[in-house]
Amino acid sequence: MFYRIFYAQPELPWSENAVATLIAGAWTGPPGCASFVLFDTIGALRFVKSGNSILSRYGTTVFEVMSQLARAHDSINLGQGFPDDRGPADVLDVAARALLDDSNQYAPMMGMPALRQAVAHHAARFYGLTVDPATEVMVTSGGTEALAACFFGLIEPGDEVVLFEPAYDSYLPIILRAGGIPRRVTLSPPDWSFNESDLAAAFSPRTKLLVLNNPLNPAAKVFSTEELALIASFLRRFDAYAVCDEVYEHLVFDGRQHIPLMTLPGMRERTLRIGSAGKTFSLTGWKVGYVTAAPALMQPVARAHQFLTFTTPPNLQTAVAYGLGKDDGYFRDLVSTLQARRDRLAAGLAAIGWTVLPAQGSYFLVADFTPTGFAGTDHAFCHDLTVAAGVTAIPLSAFYQDPVTSRCIRFCFCKSDGLVDRAIERLGHHFGAR
């Protein structure tokens, strides 16, 4: 039997402190080494087989860490992206009735016909796309599972994957676990722009796919038509696919329109489009997502999905099918409500002297804390903000793989007016009192 053993650096004493740190997983050991160290009942060290080294190197996600810290300090949590309202009452009602009246057994692996039909109608209604619900739509357990199914279904070890940073935190670990080699295009505040040479540096004949999150979490950027056309030209030139994470498709502000990459010339056959009921109906706990793609692309992704979650709770699928058919007023109100919340938080932060970056879409806005005079990292700033000011945000550097010097943090504004006002009051009090 083979056991991998942690070797501490010779100068590192095996003091209780060092061992405790190892057990807590805070010290990861030599690169690529991810073993567990345990004590047996008489206190002797015992080494056990390691977990997967790629996934083990990631700690608990920053969203969970900050939410736990927020709970521990009774802080107003504007970190993790979840709304604090109940979601549309009629959608909840359909879900509740379906739970009591309909089947609660496994739904079809590709999703319930009603939801697949609704996803196809939605694509025609909002984007003029013609989608065959029988062969081109698959229901998943949230956008996250849709992403994992796309990455596991499409990536061969050694394939290159182009992605924009800052990036949603689930992309990179799964791409790496699938054997992909990430090629990152780094976007920086305040304008998050990129150009042709940035893409030229990232693409190669080995590029299998590009990941596009539009609107982009955490930057709140909505990609322009010109940017999308530039991306499409590279996908065509390098014969690559695009996994389009469009979970914020209905959260686009100031009269902008969401443009799926799939609608651009030559992209229909190359693109997998991912949506999420969590964002569209403010029901993030439901984890109902959907992928739309041409049959040839869908097939390998469905193979992965059948071994990941296989299916998604049927009553939630029924309710989301109903929800996607809601009238235009629902979708307009969603935008106007969130836009007003964005403006409320932005105005409050600006009033206490912070620099707020434009937020074109999503649940988030980014603020630069330089005016506060804080000299430490964005992680340290978010920690202090939670503990001392009672408001929680997410450090932007958490969305980059390599260490970056960030003076920016992400706030989530999909919260009630009262909560946003209280957060601003706390921040004003804390920084005003300094």
CA neighbours within 13 Å on the CB side: how many for 268?
10
CA-angle at 399, arms to 396 and 402, nearest 5°: 105
- In angstroms, give the least distance from the CB of 169 to ligand PLP: 9
Radius of gyration in angstroms for the set of CA atoms belonging to the chain, rounded to a whole number: 23
Query: What are the backbone angles phi and psi of residue 188, rounded to the nearest 5°?
Result: -125, 150
Q: Residue 387 has what DSSP assignment?
A: I
Query: Nearest CA to 312 among 50, 106, 148, 115?
Result: 106
Q: What tokens appear for 357 in the block?
A: 């970056």
- In angstroms, give the least distance from the CB of 168 to ligand PLP: 4
- In angstroms, give the least distance from the CB of 362 to ligand PLP: 7
End-to-end CA distance of the chain: 60
Decide: is 246 part of the binding site for ligand PLP (CB under 6 A).
no
- Interface with ligand PLP: number of residues (CB under 6 A): 14
Decide: is 165 part of the binding site for ligand PLP (CB under 6 A).
no
Residue with token string 């038509």: 225
Decide: is 278 part of the binding site for ligand PLP (CB under 6 A).
yes
Among 133, 153, 189, 289, binds ligand PLP (CB under 6 A): 289
- In angstroms, give the least distance from the CB of 425 to ligand PLP: 27
**Most distant CA pair in the chain: distance in Å?**
68
The residues near 191 (Cβ < 8 Å, ≥ 6 apart) are none
Decide: is 153 part of the binding site for ligand PLP (CB under 6 A).
no
Residues in contact with ligand PLP, shown as a per-residue x/- string from 318 to 337 under the rule CB under 6 A: --------------------
Decide: is 282 part of the binding site for ligand PLP (CB under 6 A).
no
- In angstroms, give the least distance from the CB of 284 to ligand PLP: 5
Alpha helices in 178-327 (DSSP H): 196-202, 225-237, 277-280, 295-308, 314-324
Decide: is 245 part of the binding site for ligand PLP (CB under 6 A).
yes
Decide: is 276 part of the binding site for ligand PLP (CB under 6 A).
yes
Q: By beta-carbon distance, which residue lies closest to ligand PLP?
A: 142
Sheet holding 394-395, edge to edge: 355-356, 364-368, 408-412, 394-395
Decide: is 143 part of the binding site for ligand PLP (CB under 6 A).
yes
Decide: is 280 part of the binding site for ligand PLP (CB under 6 A).
no
Which residue, 217 or 372, is less far from ligand PLP as judged by CB? 217
Query: Nearest CA to 319 among 90, 163, 130, 117?
Result: 90
Which residue, 168 or 241, is less far from ligand PLP as judged by CB? 168
User: Restricting to residues 364-403, which ones interact with ligand PLP according to CB under 6 A?
Assistant: none
Which residue, 279 or 372, is less far from ligand PLP as judged by CB? 279
Q: Which residues make up the interface to ligand PLP (CB under 6 A)?
A: 81, 142-144, 168, 213, 217, 245, 247, 276, 278, 284, 287, 289
